[in-house]
Amino acid sequence: SQTAAGTNLTIIMLVGGTTVRPAWYDLILGSDATPADVATEFSVGRTTAVGTGGTALTEEPLDPITVAATGAGTGGTFTTEPTYGNRLMNIALNQRATFRWVAAPGGELITAATASNGIACRSIASGGTPNINLTIMWFE
């Protein structure tokens, strides 16, 4: 997913439900904008209400014979931000850098087993508005 950085702007959100609990295990964060020295702080946290707007993402399974994901991913520019709960991770990053986080076995970020709850990543403070690109991988 891609969106411009800013203050409290969600880049990507993954929502589970009562019957499926997606678990993030890999996150790749960077920028495709012209290189500049712009610092941005990102927050990954649980969400308790779905945001509106954005673009529904088409998930691609890593194994082509796997059934389609039931967790719903949304990215891009949100009209209304999701409601955030507990913060799980903070990432401070210069625009010229790319960051990758991979969960240690058993350390995956798992959504609550509640309707409309999920996990999302947003820029919470930025010295500019460069494009931010975020890729997540998860299992259900």
- Amino acid symbol at 113: A
Q: Give mean pLDDT, residues 40-63.
A: 87
Whole-number pLDDT of residue 105: 94
* pLDDT recorded at residue 70: 67
pLDDT per position as a tens digit, 15-41: 888 888 889 999 999 999 998 999 999
Backbone angles phi, psi at 15, to 5 degrees: -115, 135
Count of helix runs (H) and strand runs (E) in the chain: 0, 11
pLDDT digits (tens, 9 = 90+) for 66-84: 776 766 777 878 888 999 9
The reported pTM is 0.89
Output the CA–CA distances (angstroms, integers) from residue 102 to 35, 55, 136, 138, in the order listed. Answer: 25, 25, 10, 11
How many CB atoms are located within 10 Å of the residue 125 CB?
14
Phi, psi of 132 (to 5 degrees): -115, 135
Average model confidence (pLDDT) across the chain: 89
* pLDDT top residue among 55 and 128: 128
pLDDT band at residue 2 using 50, 70 and 90 as cut-offs: confident
Predicted confidence at residue 29, as pLDDT, reads 95
